[in-house]
Structure 1
Amino acid sequence: MACGSCSTGKDGQPKGCKNNGTCGTDSCNKLSVFDWLSNMSLPGGVEPFNYVEIRFKNGRKHFFKNTENLTLAIGDVVATEASPGHDVGVVTLTGELVKVQMKRKKVKKDSDEVKKIYRKASQKDIDVWQSCREREEPMKVTAREIAIKLNLKMKISDIEFQGDGSKATFYYTAEDRVDFRQLIKEFAREFKTRIEMRQIGFRQEAARLGGIGSCGRELCCSTWLTDFRSVTTSAARYQQLSLNPQKLAGQCGKLKCCLNYELDAYLDALKEFPRQDVKLQTQKGTAVCQKIDIFKGSLWYAYEGEWMNWHELTTKQVHEIIKAAKAKKPVASLEEFSAELQKTESTDFGNVVGQDSLTRFDKPKKGNHNNKKRRRKKRNHKPRGKKPNKNA
């Protein structure tokens, strides 16, 4: 379900929040789920699963029990149990897939975390909910000013009102522990509502706020990624990436989660490679590994003392040289096994799509223009008659 900013205006044109990349108010596309079991009918005698998944602001999701047996579908706005009062959220998942999600996230049915749904939200509930949402951005600015005034080393990243407006949750990030007892008093005096402070990590902050990554797409943590696994610099080393913090860090300031996506493929490919710290023993001398290419399956070695001369070898050849050295029958030299250098062929890009030449708008050369003038003069030139011969 889209938020209020995405609805149509008076002239029938879509409003839109004009926030390129992700929704700026209700995060319409955050952590959206496709119910691939929606077209499956239950076997006879099996009751439908009476739990639903509900999303709140910025991807916050919880499981609720449908005690009133309401007919709910994805996109319905419902009023749920909260402490105190009630909250308003959007149904994102129903049916048997909720059971799978609860099992995956290790949430038990009889847990205290699973609360119940009161009713489908009325128009009054939605109006109160939308009015509270409109107060969040101005409150965020004021809250940051108060935190700076109290010299607190913290960053208030987001504010979320409860559906009935009885409580406001302030999400903040901080490297050290913060004593915000005076801050809560200032907030309660300024905003006239119940205050709850909740500390989140830097990755959770990026997931709540959203944004565009270096790949040009929306952040994975704000669109589909829910479990944050630890990322280490060894993942970059295995993939032969430069250990540059500016390139390896994401918008949260931590290592990018996408470094783990292709790590297993690299680890499987590296199983065929010999260890890089193993030196090759030959009759000519000892060679040390300088570089590897995982995609080509090649390794470059150089003799000790001849560091500028590299010899390209395949993984099979390197294993043969190591095996011969263990058998105390070292090979003569690496030159016998070095891969032949491939001749660099000039790539000819043919016109396969029927595009015109890029130089079709260039001005003609002056020399051609002068030649045309000369040819034109010759055509216009009339030959003169022969002079009469006086001796005739």
Structure 2
Amino acid sequence: MLYSSFARSFKYLGLMGAVASPVAAYADLVDDSHLKVDMRNFYLDRNFTKSGAKVPQVGNWSQGFDLQFTSGYTDTPVAFGLDVDAQYALRLDSTGNDGTLPYNAAKGMTSKDYSRAGATFKMKYSKTELKIGDMRPELPVAWHDPSRQLDTIFQGAVVESKEIDNLTLTGGRFWSAVTRESSDHEKFYKFGSKDSLDSDKGMDFGGAVWNATPRFQASYFYGVVHDIYRQQYYGLAHTTDLGNGYGLRADVRWFDNKEDGEALSGDIDNRALSTGLTLTKGPHRTSLVYQRMFGQSMFPTLNGYIPQFYLLNWANQPFMRPQERSWGVGYAYDFAAMGIPGLTFSTRYIKGTDIKRGDALADETENERDLALRYVVQSGALKGLGLEWKNYMVKQRYGNDFDENRLITSYTWKVW
């Protein structure tokens, strides 16, 4: 019934003039469509362990729903489609403000629920695709945030072209974003500054990813949040077969960040080097990361703490403060090798030093230890049900120490 309703709706929409031959034009649009609902029950409890902490505990418990309808394309020379998304979360319990749900500082409480919805118009010719509307980018200059309850949604126009073999070109403009703890699309501003100091022109960006060989990739991206900051990104990645089942991946990533135009958020002086080695052998994965911040400023991020996962030491703490040096070591294991498919474990430890706090102040240091255990049911009536536990232990010389636990239950209902 639900499928038929969507099918009838698209037949009457007459997308972008493709009405000349509705049956032929819309067949792939409807037949290749998909509808799913991601459901997540999310619990977070953070306890501040250092004496004198202003707030001893924050956390929340919430239930979220993320509906995503993805259409196919019309069977026309220039093909068209339309995607629809809707998100809703209900607060079950909360203590203070942990950055997951909308928080009213005047009332000292989180919202009982919140939601957002939107659509994405798309068109495709050959191997080039244009999307306008809601997006969840995974680019060096813009990344969504699936780490809490509702995901970050960007609004903009993006074109991606793969006309040249092994080369992907991407460019476009984002004009707003709705962050994980909000229902409202906002203009871009630098995290840590007043949201009234926003960019009226949005973010323009462009870049290329070149797979020079099956094992070597080079990438470059440029982005400018007008009147706030501009950013250049250079990336190299190489994988090597070491024999006897061993594989090695090497990553080198470099960011160059500087203020732009009117510099509404002040001067920005930051360069970031993030390098990593990942060794794999069967179910084992071991990683080693070295990261270094240069300059007098923190690495710039957008709006309500939208993450920058291209920094390899980004964790519960971002390890991106002025002149910070950080080392990270990690290990992961897939228990399918022991006859328990669906069960995985990972851990890592990151140490950050030489953090500049200002003139005449001693340097800050910080460290973090993470644990994660996840199981996905592989068969039966509950197939696809995910159960996950995450534990973080964060210590800072002058900042806040805390222990944090997250319990996440997730399930995707594929309607069709």
Q: TM-score, normalised by structure 1?
A: 0.22
With CA pairs under 8 Å and 6+ residues apart, which has the higher RCO, 1 or 2? 2
Q: Which structure carries more strand by proportion?
A: 2
Q: Which structure carries more helix by proportion?
A: 1
Q: TM-score, normalised by structure 2?
A: 0.21
